[in-house]
Amino acid sequence: MYAPDRLAALAAVVDGGTFEAAARALHVTPSAVSQRVRALEQQVGQVVVTRTAPCRPTGTGEVLLGLARQTALLAAETTERLGESGGVRRVAVAVNADSLATWFRAVLAEVAGWPGVALELHVADQDHTTRLLRTGRVLAAVTAESAPVQGCTARPLGVMRYHPVAAPGVLERARRADGGLDWRRLPMVRFDEDDALQHDWLAAHGHAPPDVVHRVPTTADLVAAIRCGLGWGMALDHQLADPSAADLVRLADEPVLVPLYWQRWRVDSPTLARLTDAVLAAAARP
């Protein structure tokens, strides 16, 4: 059995990035954190965290990190059911930026009324959020992967609809003599280096990737950048319904559909079950 204080020390080191930051979070000395982590490593016979800047979990550490998250949540819930103060129930969740900027806000409004619950959001592309589940950093995730991560359940949430669009001016600058588009000369705007939506669409339509690719890592600002003529990119249905986007040109008749799923660790947690209900309800709203 792994001692909760040792698991908590590991989680604090990974979250804070240093043993000193972990000590501040746990209200102990750095020496105490080091002793707990070292005791955990002696117990499993392997290194669980790299002593780098920042500290990172090893493969073994990732497995124990997931256990640490679950143990802390279940311990707080058990203490509360016994009629004592269970402290703060921390629930780490990974969500893609476009969901966070749209339908997931209803989840935030729901959780706002839950006393003693701290929602810790990690934002990543929907194709990469399950990585945070596998590494133990989060207890649940909005993801594009339908196959459950080991130890997790998966529930469908519906689809997000994207449209390739551009401002008229940037299209004219990339016109060929025959009136068609030179896709190599048409700049692209994407969210970040994990955002492959635009590249996948180009490949599916037989177009080469452009020479210039801009990075705009917020949902609203990405569409604003497209409207300014920075390049073409993907916009959601509701963004194109805004009057400010009326001048954008759709580059295809059919939208790109991205199915989303809710994956969570298979643990008997009332807080996690309640959060799952809130996520499923928010995703089902029109």
- Condensed to tens digits (0 to 9), the pLDDT of residues 69-98 reads 999 999 999 988 887 776 789 999 999 999
CA distance 219 to 213: 16
Tokens standing for 19? Answer: 């043993």
List b or e across 188-212, with b for residues whose CB sees 16 or more CB atoms inside 10 angstroms.
Answer: bbbbeeebebbeebbeeeeeeebee
Give the residue ranges of the chain where pLDDT is below 70: 86
| DSSP codes of every residue in 118-174 | EEEEEE--TTTHHHHHHTTS-SEEEES--SPPTTEEEEEEEEEEEEEEE-HHHHHHT
Torsion angle, alpha carbons of 39, 43, 45, 47, to 10: -40
User: Do the domains at 1-81 and 160-257 have one common CATH topology?
Assistant: no
Q: How far is CA 161 from the centre of its chain?
A: 18
**DSSP strand pairing (213-215 vs 256-265):** unpaired
CA distance 245 to 193: 25
1-81 is a CATH 1.10.10.10 domain: yes
User: How high is the pLDDT of residue 83?
Assistant: 78
**DSSP strand pairing (117-123 vs 89-95):** parallel
- Condensed to tens digits (0 to 9), the pLDDT of residues 157-171 reads 999 999 999 999 999
User: How high is the pLDDT of residue 86?
Assistant: 62
Q: pTM above 0.85?
A: yes
Residue 246 buriedness (CB in 10 A; 0-12 / 13-18 / 19+): exposed
Q: Which numeric CATH code is attached to 160-257?
A: 3.40.190.10
All structural domains of the chain with their residue ranges: 1-81, 160-257
CA distance 246 to 56: 46
User: How high is the pLDDT of residue 286?
Assistant: 81
